[in-house]
Chain A
């Protein structure tokens, strides 16, 4: 990326305190996000994927300071977000908006669509009544909703329409950057495609920049320029979307991709079944956080946190992958193929004795 990124996240950490007892003593930390770094260029989309509890949602919220980050930096258009005072933060929030997963929970059922959309305009003191109405109409129209929707309540709309209203609410402030947190997960399959197309159209027309958070790998591939895979509070692999899907290097990425059921036989990968569950982020494993579930784990993985191995914009955190990359002289495709073979071999030999639990 030659240009200055619109958003740069550097070593972001967001920990939640676990309190217990009468005195609410702190007994531990949930390291929801623990050292995440990435950058998104203007008009680009970064897809953030991972399973529940990996911290992807917390990353989105920390960027907007809907939850306060514990450490690290978020730089939006040159300004350090964690350092901002209340007034500056409010001004910046006009430029960064968020769309949530659940269009049933995220729209206040007691408010008309007009009051839902107008709230942001009032808070940011944008325009007079007439101009506000204009803006609201434009935002609705852009999301394919009639202006008549303004006087109605959320419950009068279907899930897909509500998600369009939630998108209109974000757009009415004319932001530059949107955090899209699982924007289609709660919708029916036939409606998902409509909303995905709308989001892509809006990005092209309005020059928006997206952080697209989802567990739906196919949709992320479709929408994103670059994709980052999270596991237990960390990014384990990051690359251009096409590169990541063609040549995944991290064992977790490989397992994740292989687990997605597909209707196209040609698209099915040899399934790698991981044993166990994701460990609790309050007690992350030592060394590589994936090692207890990794079929390729070695002694070094149990002890040393794997550093980043960057290669032409493809970054992976894995000791085994790093060694394969070195052995192949930095040929990502060959290294990826070798890793996939190793995973398949390890997976099939273990397939008779898969156990759950014991993370």
Chain B
């Protein structure tokens, strides 16, 4: 079903226009990179505070209320430009093992954010300026690791080591949804 969807996407005039336009694709990818500075950059600073290693004079509540809106703005920019990058090359990206791992990492990071929002930060008034609890540090480490992986895997999508035409193992065929080359 997803396979049909990306095949249809690839045939849309928007996909072809993005794919063929040198400037629009380059501008979109550059904006994607600049948005990483805003998104991962600000989330990293919040995580360093949640680890208790930096900005310890800034209340945790302030860090969350004043910095996270900028993180969200960065995320919106990344989703818009990321969707455009996907739309430009839908079929190859859909099968990319790096794209799939990137989505998995985003999912892990999202679950971590949900746990932090609904469980961990509930009693933050008690540690707004004092020592941070272990649960906060765990969330920060998961967040930093997951977003770092998202950046690395995202960058690796550009490389064709595991494109469908070079896949020979059944496991990789399964993971990438690529047909196994009968030859």
Please indicate whether A and B come from the same complex rather than being unrelated chains: no
